[in-house]
Structure 1
Amino acid sequence: MLFGKKKTAGSKDATEEVSAPTDTAAAATDGAAPAAASPEESDASTVELHGPRDFSEIDSKKGYLDFGALLIPAAKNQQVRLDIDQKTKRVVALTIMVEQASIQVQPFSAPKSGGTWNEVLEQIQDSVIKQNGKVKQVDGRFGKELAARVPTVLKDGRKGWRVARFIGFEGQRWFLRGVVGGRGAIDASAARAVEELFSKIVVVRGDDPLPPRELLRLQPPEGAKRVAVPRNRAQRRDDAPSPNPAAAPVSNDT
């Protein structure tokens, strides 16, 4: 399995690429959705509602990739990228790709009283609208979620939309945000793999007192090494200067 993310033009995030002693995955491709595409609601009627777990709910870390505040289930055919802030060199998110879908995850501290996701939903919605995007609140597998799209320029020069779904789950003094991209943002069947992965993520909150919505500490797995991953143009992100819903802030500090 490979861990890493390439540097994106105009982004504050750099990337680290490291390898861990697990299965090797093929490189994934991020693309802009066609102009006619629109977010598709997940089929929640036939899926049991359950979400990520707290560290206290598992017996051991066996079978997980340890990223500090997040334990990611190890599996074949998935790639994990570490999003690094250029200034602080801090890991600020993980992006996991499975087949044609991707999900970016970020863990935050949260008050015991709950209600964090409702506040975050409103902030993301405002951010997308300010980017001249469109957003719709729908009911998904994990409850309320946002289907969003913002204008972009496709690789062939045509105008189109970059589409994403924002999902969230609140646990014991923590909150996990996920941004579903790729085919998973517009195709419910393609999203099932990353939704299932999201439901199995374990959050390690720790006992330290933290202010609400403080980003929990993420780090590369122990023993991981940087690796050079050859990329051709078809495997690179669209570098067009367009807003990305995945970059919508959770708070002014992130």
Structure 2
Amino acid sequence: MTSSADSGAATPQPVLHGPRDFSELESKKGYLDFGALLIPAAKNQQVRLDIDQKTKRVVALTIMVEQASIQVQPFSAPKSGGTWNEVLEQIKDSVIKQNGKVKEVDGRFGKELAARVPTVLKDGRKGWRVARFIGFEGPRWFLRGVVGGRGAIDASAARAVEELFSKIVVVRGDDPLPPRELLRLQPPEGAKRVVVPRNRAERRDDSPSPNPAAAPVSDDT
């Protein structure tokens, strides 16, 4: 989430085509291969691998484009669908328990949540941690995105990460998996892994995920 003294409601945008399934892809050329996710390569973006310190497992990717960021996580899902509606309700409950405010709005990918949780800003003022939760369901998978940075409060700043989200390719695989199992993520071949030092305030602002990204790693591809 990003910190802000206030936030405005995002204006509904035209619906974008969502992320694609690997079966729709003809070639991996032009993509960064993170295992379960193929991310379109671009010069103006940075990708961070979010690592769980206890298991050393990659639990999410956080992609920065200019002033906006998006954290993405792929999960297995039943063929019947409906996962995003269930996740929406869980996010709402979590935000409310933190004395936050949450609003369901119509976004470019359908239903999404605009959430804010009370916090103390770096200058000591009371403010909010702000984030937008978006989701998309494919064949037996579900991709969740958390829009942060300037993109959480500015629709124009969010366009680049929304466009990126729409071009992500999910590699589900054929193995039987229980619903909501996090799909395997891994660094691209030859990627340089450098630990990114962050202060306490930055760690606090970057924790919207149910799987704590406790040891972020920078990917320089």
Shift of 1:141: 0.2
In the superposition, relative to structure 1, how do residues 180 and 237 fare at CA in structure 2: closer, same or farther (>3 Å)?
same
| Cα offsets for 1:139-180 (capped at 9, x unmatched) | 000000000000010000110001000000000100000000
CA displacement at 1:76 relative to structure 2: 1.1
- SS in structure 2 of the partner of residue 111 of structure 1: coil
Shift of 1:35: 11
CA deviations on 1:91-114 (whole Å, 9 max, x unpaired) are 000000000000000000000000
C-alpha deviations, 1:186-233, integer Å up to 9, x for none?
110000000000000000000000000000000000111223668899
- Asked whether the 8 Å contact 1:33–1:162 carries over to 2, the reply is no
> CA separation of 1:54/1:32 partners in 2, compared to 1, >3 Å: closer, same or farther?
farther
Aligned mates of 1:176, 1:79 — CA distance in 2: 19
Please give the alpha-carbon distance, in whole angstroms, between the structure 2 residues aligned to 1:38 and 1:32.
19
Question: Would you say the 8 A contact 1:64–1:73 is kept in 2?
Answer: yes
Report which stretch shifted further, 238-247 or 106-115: 238-247
Q: Deviations over 1:70-94 (max 9, x none)?
A: 0000001111111111111000000
CA contact under 8 A between 2:39 and 2:169: conserved in structure 1? yes
Aligned mates of 1:54, 1:125 — CA distance in 2: 28
SS of residue paired to 1:169: strand
* Residue ranges of structure 2 left out of the alignment (5+ in a row): none
Shift of 1:247: 11
Closer/same/farther in 2, CA of residues 115 and 232 from structure 1, 3 Å limit: closer
Is this contact kept in 2: 1:148–1:165, CA < 8 A? yes
| Inter-CA distance 149–222: structure 2 relative to 1 (3 Å threshold) | same
Q: Which has the higher contact order (CA 8 A, sep 6+)?
A: 2
TM-score normalised by structure 1 residue count:
0.74
C-alpha separation in 2, matches of 1:173 and 1:133: 32
- 2:21 aligned with 1:54: yes
In 2, distance between residues paired with 1:246 and 1:32? 25
Structure 1: distance between partners of 2:30 and 2:219: 35
SS of residue in 1 equivalent to 2:213:
helix
Aligned identity (percent) is 93
Contact preservation (8 Å) 1:35, 1:159: no
Going from structure 1 to structure 2, the CA distance change for 1:32 and 1:233 (only over 3 Å counts) comes to farther
- Whole-Å Cα distance in 1 between the matches of residues 154 and 77 of structure 2? 31
Q: Who is 1:126 aligned against? A: 93
8 Å contact from structure 2 (residues 39, 168) kept in 1: yes
- After superposition, the Cα gap between the structure-2 partners of 1:107 and 1:249, relative to the gap in structure 1 and judged at 3 Å, is farther
Paired with 1:243 and 1:205, the residues of 2 have a C-alpha distance of: 20
Cα distance in 1 for partners of 2:98, 2:212 equals: 9
Alpha carbons 1:93, 1:218 under 8 Å: kept? yes
Alignment check: 8 A CA contact 2:47 2:220 kept: no
